[in-house]
Chain A
Amino acid sequence: MRCPGAEALQITPAIWSAMVAHCLAAYPDEGCGLLGGDGERGVARSCYPTTNAAASARIYTVAPVDHLRADRKAEARGESIIGVFHSHTHTDAHPSPTDVDQAPDPSWHYVLVSLRDTHPVVRSYRIVAGTVAEEPVVVVDAVASATTGGGQ
């Protein structure tokens, strides 16, 4: 178990797969979704795929109604929304200037899924007051009470 405030994002293989599968399904548009879990410990327990309301290969907008549904499901599971993931279809897994400008919550984890290369690349960042810091993505076999794919 990580200490509160630890600078890492802990996910299961199932969450990794759910994020990547959703982004591949959204291709050629950017795919996006939300992560539920324990924000203080940096533990993601649920993946909530959402519609990209922008329907674009260059930008994404989490469909507001999907965000509301994910927030309610997370609350019912005793989780919070702790971050967002989205894909970059032709660039690397690093936040774009638009991602940094529009980052909504300094406590969130910002996960990028790059589909540029043959194998998807998943990386995570913290974005606080315009400053980007990468954090390790720790994939563990079991996170207590882990569930996935509950978004839609």
Chain B
Amino acid sequence: MPEVRLPTVLRSAAGGSSSVTVEGATIGDVLRQLVASYPAMAGQVLTDDGELHRFVNVYVNDDDVRYLDKLDTKVALDDTVSILPAVAGG
């Protein structure tokens, strides 16, 4: 199953783990399964409409999924999915 690396802000929702394994063949599947497994992440990764939240960036290995097929981006069993917060300000 793909490994999902979590940012510190989401680790408490996963019992303190820095990474978890989640089933899914696309980024959308993986993130929906992640939230289903760890409900405290609801609203932090996906919006209420099921879109990728603008406050996170998600990568398959080295590639930002926004520049691939977004939630339809394919994920292989040995891929690493990384979630990082979007860091911005004024």
Contacts and interface: CB of A to CB of B under 8 A. Distances in A.
Contacts of A65: 62, 64
Interface stretch (A18-26, A78-86, A114-122, A132-140): A78-86
B90 A104 contact: no
B59 A104 contact: no
Nearest to A88: B90
A150 B89 CA distance: 23
Q: Which 8 A-B pairs have the closest CB atoms?
A: A98-B90, A104-B85, A99-B89, A62-B87, A105-B9, A61-B88, A64-B57, A96-B90
B82 interface: yes
Interface in B21-59: 55, 57, 59
Interface stretch (A5-13, A52-60, A141-149): A52-60
B57 A67 contact: yes
Contacts of A108: 8
Given A34-B87, A62-B87, A104 B64 contact: no
A31 interface: no
Interface of A: 32, 34, 39, 54, 58-62, 64-65, 67-68, 71, 80-81, 84, 86, 95-99, 102-108
Interface of B: 7-9, 55, 57, 59, 62, 64, 82, 84-90
A103 B85 CA distance: 9
Contacts of A60: 88-90
Nearest to A95: B89
Given A80-B8, A81-B8, A96 B84 contact: no
Contact of A105 (B59, B85, B88): B85
11 contacts: A39-B8, A60-B89, A62-B86, A62-B87, A64-B57, A97-B90, A99-B89, A102-B55, A104-B9, A105-B8, A108-B8
